[in-house]
Amino acid sequence: MKKQVSIAVCLTFICLAGCTEGNATTEPVTKESDQPANTEKSTNEKDQENAMEENLSSPENPSKTDEDDANNVTLTEEEVIASVKKQLQSSLPPKLPKQLPMSSADMQLSAAIHSENDMYRVIFFESKKTIPVNDEELNNISSAKPIAVIEAKQYETAQEAESKIGYISPEDIQTGNEIDLGHSITGFEEGGAGHKWLNWHEGRWYLQIQANNIEGNNDYVPLAKRMVDYLESNTLPAPDKYGSVKVNVDDQKAEDNRISWQEGTIVYSVSEVADPIKMLEIVTHLEGMEE
């Protein structure tokens, strides 16, 4: 019995000693000799943090905030068009619009450019946010919508360029019903295979409106009269020989809308503008960008 008591006392002592030692380990007393080491470690950590901050804000590693600020810069239409002109790599004299038909005042303009020595093609887009010229996001139809295409292409001869205009002479128009379009202009109806056309001429320009006889809007006379009225006070470019205006009365078929004209061996065109009157506005107010 005495042995058992002695063993218990010894075990109790050992446990108490262990607890005391553990407490001393978890709550060490600060020694003066330890302070320089702790101070040196804190300084090193601070230097590392400063170095990291310095690296993140350097020009080679712009911060996310810097990138966001750059992406949020709003460019005017004039600035976008100037950027397009600067990036064109073509020997052809550029003819670019002074303004584009944006759907609302808060929409932003951008463009995608493809150019070579003998041609250029510029697709203008509108978007709700700023997208840089030639940015890949322009391929995303949910981010950017094409509103106009400006093109120029040089051919080997003036005759070849002329053949690309799609001009039809007054003598070759299949005359049907005559329609008074105002300003002493007469339009001639033509139809077949579910479609109908209204054709007329103004100087060296051939103009045509297409409509579908089966579905959608097929009354092209009001649009034709608006076009004739607009051109009474606004002048199309003077082609060397011929020019043509071809549009669809359906504003959902912008791909059918094209204005083309010849200048020597070069054919210029503006196309894929949903509103034909807006397309006329672009062409009648082109800036030649002469230096």
The pLDDT tens digits for 155-171 are 999 999 999 999 999 99
Instruction: Classify the C-alpha dihedral 114-253-277-184 as positive or negative.
Output: positive
pLDDT tens per residue across span 65-90: 333 334 557 789 999 999 999 999 99
- Detail the DSSP E strand segments found in 24-177: 96-97, 108-116, 119-127, 144-154
User: In sequence order, what are the residues at sequence separation of 6 or more whose Cβ sits closer than 8 angstroms to the Cβ of residue 147?
Assistant: 100, 101, 102, 103, 124, 125, 126, 273, 274
To the question of pTM greater than 0.75 for the whole model, the response is: no
Contact 49, 41 (CB under 8 A): no
pLDDT tens per residue across span 23-76: 433 343 344 444 444 444 444 554 544 444 443 333 333 333 333 334 557 789
Give the whole-angstrom CA distance, residue 191 versus residue 174.
9
Placement of tokens 């070849």 in the chain: 160
Token digits of residue 171: 């003598």
Segment among 33-47, 95-109, 176-190 with least mean pLDDT: 33-47
3-state secondary structure 45-63: HHHHHHHHHHHHCCCCCCC
